[in-house]
Amino acid sequence: MIRTSRRTLLTTGAAFAGASALGFPSIVSAQTDKIKIGHVTPLTGFLGAIGSYAQLGAKLATADINQAGGIMGRPIDLISEDSVNPATAATKAQRMIEQDGAVVLLGEISSASSLTIMQVAERNRKVFFSTGARSDALRGKNCNKYSFHCDIPNTVMVNAVGTALLQKGMVKDKKFFTLTADYIFGHDLLKAAKSFFDANKANLIGDELIATDVTDFSPYLLKIRQANPDVVCCNLAGNQVTNLVKQYAEFGLPYPLVGFNLNTGDAWAAGEGNLSGTWPTVWYHTLDNPASQAFVAAFAKAYGKPPENHAWIDYVSLKLLAQAMNEIKSTDSGALIAYFEKETQFDIMKARKGYFRSWDHQLVQEAYPFTVKPKTEMKDKWDMLVLGNVVPAPGEPLDSIYPNKTQNPCEMKA
Amino acid sequence: MQIGFLLEQVVNGLVLGGYYLLIALGLSLIFSVGGIVNLAHGAFYALGAYLSVEITGHLGFGPAVVLSPIAVALLGILFERFILRRFYTADPILSLLVTFGLALVAEQAIRIIWGSAPLSASIPPAFRGSVVVGDFLFSRYRLLILAVVALVLLGVWLLLHKTSFGRVVRAGIQRPDMVAALGIRLQPYMTAVVMLGVGMAALGGAFFAPITVVHPAMGAEIITVAFVVVVIGGLGSFWGVVIAATLVGVVRGITIHFVPAAGEASIYVLMFVVLMLRPRGLLGERIEKFE
């Protein structure tokens, strides 16, 4: 018998430990009369916490659609899996189309994974609804005919928070220090932030690129103190945001902390009294309209907690995909693209309806800045945020906060 | 001023090293005595964090950081008695596989019990904010952690070097055959070492819950760094692990000061350099059974 030296084993043990991030594929049963829809979203890693909400949203939408008669009388079979990382996401997306027979794909939060799935969608000529990825580049230089973008892009998040900061006089001639997630999403967000700073005469005095697996922010907090900025601005993602917010509160630095990206799941995970400042959001469960409140009630009944914004977006996206298929009586990707490119309006549980812009396939919709509610006014532990004024303001064209053709050009090959 | 900034990073790195130490010391002890590469060590760290958040909700922070490690240490008895014990003399690859499997089971179990969304936890108000000493900024809470680590370290050192228990454990690391020849069964000592090891990991989890994301995969996040510390420190050496942990913290801090993007990579470069120069780690002893 070959015996492994224990010392060698220890050195290789660390590599083995890293492998534990691998996910398990779910077991799928094959049934031909169902309409298969492929859903991938991160369930592990730094976006896993919010991704699990996205999966619940997609599952609830499937149940609702099937109860209402499905698509053209056929039930949806949702194949939902952990996307793990960009390479695995693409492999799974390819397998869902090729072997499982998925007619369309949806999901994702990571802009890096979304980019690889977009390429799979284009190659296979299948529609992909990128539900939670926010990089401008996905709508711009990386755009393609088969990919649709449901979440607000980075530029809109910067505009939403920026407008609120301008109103508070926190931009002009102020010194900003930014912390940026070191992957496509963060780089893209920093670019959008920089053009906002330039346009509004703010000074960017420091920026740190931060790896997505960083959990200890103390060395960065020391660097912020040394730089002595007026405002600290967080361009991080997922668990990074929660870690930063917790440790920022721990050190109690005096500079106001704002951010151009936050998901409510990250805010809930931060804990009482840790979050402060002004942030953007695409949707929040206290949004006051009947459709939104009905969804919140149904979600809470099914899962015992309110939906996070990624639960909402995956729910809404799947619902409007089903609605479109029922209306055109087809699951064909070409027909769907033609339908969406007519800029058909959809109820997305907001005051104004949304539509996919024909030239870049962006779901044009309202966004909101928010601040944090004082503890004494919170009804429960989920009730953390105070929504600010909707952007764009009522009366202004809905796409005025989105990048235009010259700012973020998209050329789709036919 | 530049030197002051750098010094601040060094001091901060020392504090951070204390946290790595809580996880790595147990890992090193369990390996040194039992020859088990405990890939499930991170799971006990995660469990410590979850239990402490749960207990904080009922009894407050103070009882939580005491009760949670104790509960996990008791769980360690079962872990040693029913799982590890079968693998001391087996091919080490088996114990590697079984603890790896256990880590996956533990992560999924946490997901089933507490859900996949992170739990929220906060620092008790008394320890919020920072103190400025001279030019240096310290988080009050991390100073508390540092004090706890120092106490634990002192306790473990006294246990290993000033008690008969420690003498048997240290002899067991070097020459288990001689210990057996003297008529001493090592197994009860191994149970105690595992309890101590996983209890320290849980203590780390309990104290870090308020300042990091408490989520099911948090154990997998910490285990890699803990391994790096153990490998750098060298086997069988108490001070090796202590020096390695602080070195890892300091090197990371200094790297982030000069080349921020290389911060996380720096500790692996450090491991590489140390292994090139000293294949047994900084203070690693020659242990016959592992050669």
DSSP per-residue codes, A276-313: -S-EEES--TT--SHHHHHHHHHHHHHHSSPPPHHHHH
Residue A8: per-residue pLDDT: 65
| Stretch among A208-217, A270-279, B44-53, B156-165 having the lowest mean pLDDT | A270-279
Chain B residues with CB inside 8 Å of A10's CB?
31, 37, 227, 230-231, 235
Residue A32: per-residue pLDDT: 52
Question: Is some CB atom of chain A closer than 8 A to the CB atom of B269?
Answer: no
Structure-model confidence comparison of residues B257 and A315, the more confident one = A315
* CA-based R_g, chain B, Å: 19
A294 class by beta-carbon count within 10 Å (0-12 exposed, 13-18 middle, 19+ buried): exposed
Residue B162: per-residue pLDDT: 94
A254 lies in the same domain as A189? yes
**Taking 90 as the threshold, does the pLDDT of residue A413 lie above it?**
no
Chain B residues with CB inside 8 Å of A21's CB?
217, 220
From A384, A369, A176, select the one nearest A280 (Cα to Cα): A369
Residue B3: per-residue pLDDT: 82
| Average pLDDT of the segment spanning B130-151 | 89
| Average pLDDT of the segment spanning A174-187 | 94
DSSP string spanning B238-283? HHHHHHHHHHHHHHHHHHHHH-GGGHHHHHHHHHHHHHHH-TT-SS
Q: Which residues pair with B137 in a beta bridge?
A: B132
**Taking 70 as the threshold, does the pLDDT of residue A7 lie above it?**
no
Residue A5 counted as domain residue: no
Residue A307: per-residue pLDDT: 96
> How many domains does chain B divide into?
1
The 10s digit of each residue's pLDDT in B9-65 is 898 999 899 989 999 999 999 988 888 889 999 999 999 999 999 999 999 999 999
| Average pLDDT of the segment spanning B91-119 | 92
Residue A79: per-residue pLDDT: 97
The 10s digit of each residue's pLDDT in A338-375 is 999 999 999 999 999 999 999 999 999 999 999 999 88
A309 lies in the same domain as A207? no
A384 lies in the same domain as A272? yes
The 10s digit of each residue's pLDDT in B228-246 is 999 999 877 889 999 999 9
**Taking 50 as the threshold, does the pLDDT of residue A24 lie above it?**
no
Residue B236: per-residue pLDDT: 74
pLDDT over 90 percentage in chain A: 81
Distance from CA of B151 to the nearest CA of A (A): 22
Residue A78 counted as domain residue: yes
Residue B2 banded pLDDT, cuts 50, 70, 90 = confident
CB pairs under 8 A between A and B: 183
Here the CATH number for the domain that contains residue A90 is 3.40.50.2300
A56 lies in the same domain as A106? yes
A351 lies in the same domain as A382? no
Query: Cβ separation of A252 and B130 shorter than 8 Å?
Result: yes
A244 lies in the same domain as A311? no
Phi, psi of B265 (to 5 degrees): -75, -25
Here the CATH number for the domain that contains residue B256 is 1.10.3470
Distance from CA of B224 to the nearest CA of A (A): 5
Residue with structure tokens 């989105």?
A: A402
Residue A25 counted as domain residue: no
Residue A19 counted as domain residue: no
Four-point Cα dihedral A386, A199, A150, A378, nearest 10: -10
Residue B233: per-residue pLDDT: 93
Residue B176 banded pLDDT, cuts 50, 70, 90 = confident
Residue B117 has its nearest CB partner, among A11, A211, A265, at A265
Residue A12: per-residue pLDDT: 60
A133 lies in the same domain as A145? yes
Q: Are B69 and B199 in contact (CB under 8 A)?
A: yes
A163 lies in the same domain as A248? yes
The 10s digit of each residue's pLDDT in A132-159 is 999 999 999 999 999 999 999 999 999 9
> How many domains does chain A divide into?
2
Distance from CA of B223 to the nearest CA of A (A): 7
Quote the mean pLDDT of chain B: 91
Residue A411 counted as domain residue: no
A220 lies in the same domain as A317? no
Residue A25: per-residue pLDDT: 42
**Domain range enclosing B131:** 2-290
Residue A135 DSSP class? -
Residue A49 counted as domain residue: yes
Phi, psi of B223 (to 5 degrees): -65, -35
Query: Cβ separation of A242 and B118 shorter than 8 Å?
Result: yes
Residue A339: per-residue pLDDT: 96
Residue A269 counted as domain residue: yes
Residue A16 banded pLDDT, cuts 50, 70, 90 = low
Query: Cβ separation of A247 and B211 shorter than 8 Å?
Result: yes
**Taking 50 as the threshold, does the pLDDT of residue A69 lie above it?**
yes
- Strand (E) or helix (H) holding B99: helix B92-114
A314 lies in the same domain as A279? no
Residue B276 banded pLDDT, cuts 50, 70, 90 = very high
Chain A residues with CB inside 8 Å of B146's CB?
none
Residue with structure tokens 């997305």?
A: A348
**Domain range enclosing A248:** 155-286+367-401
What is the separation of C-alpha A331 from the centre of its chain, rounded to a whole number of angstroms?
25
**Taking 70 as the threshold, does the pLDDT of residue A91 lie above it?**
yes
| Average pLDDT of the segment spanning A248-254 | 92
User: Before B216, cis peptide (omega within 30)?
Assistant: no
Residue B117 banded pLDDT, cuts 50, 70, 90 = confident
Query: Cβ separation of B231 and A14 shorter than 8 Å?
Result: yes
**Taking 50 as the threshold, does the pLDDT of residue A19 lie above it?**
no
| Average pLDDT of the segment spanning A298-305 | 94
Quote the mean pLDDT of chain A: 90
Residue A76 banded pLDDT, cuts 50, 70, 90 = very high
The residues near A341 (Cβ < 8 Å, ≥ 6 apart) are A356, A358, A361
| Average pLDDT of the segment spanning B175-192 | 89
Residue A297 banded pLDDT, cuts 50, 70, 90 = very high
Coil vs helix vs strand at A403? coil
| Average pLDDT of the segment spanning B248-258 | 92
Residue A123 counted as domain residue: yes
Query: Cβ separation of A226 and B256 shorter than 8 Å?
Result: no
Q: Are B39 and B31 in contact (CB under 8 A)?
A: no
| Average pLDDT of the segment spanning B95-109 | 94
Query: Cβ separation of B227 and A17 shorter than 8 Å?
Result: yes
Residue B96 has its nearest CB partner, among A9, A210, A242, at A9
**Taking 50 as the threshold, does the pLDDT of residue A18 lie above it?**
no
- Strand (E) or helix (H) holding A368: strand A368-372
**Taking 90 as the threshold, does the pLDDT of residue A204 lie above it?**
yes
Residue B220 has its nearest CB partner, among A21, A220, A273, at A21
Length of chain B, in residues: 291
A205 lies in the same domain as A224? yes
Residue A183: per-residue pLDDT: 92
Q: Are B136 and B8 in contact (CB under 8 A)?
A: yes
Residue B7 banded pLDDT, cuts 50, 70, 90 = confident
- Share of chain B residues as helix, strand and coil, in percent rounded to the nearest 5: 80, 5, 20
A131 lies in the same domain as A167? no
Chain A's closest residue to B141, CA to CA, is A250
**Taking 60 as the threshold, does the pLDDT of residue A17 lie above it?**
no
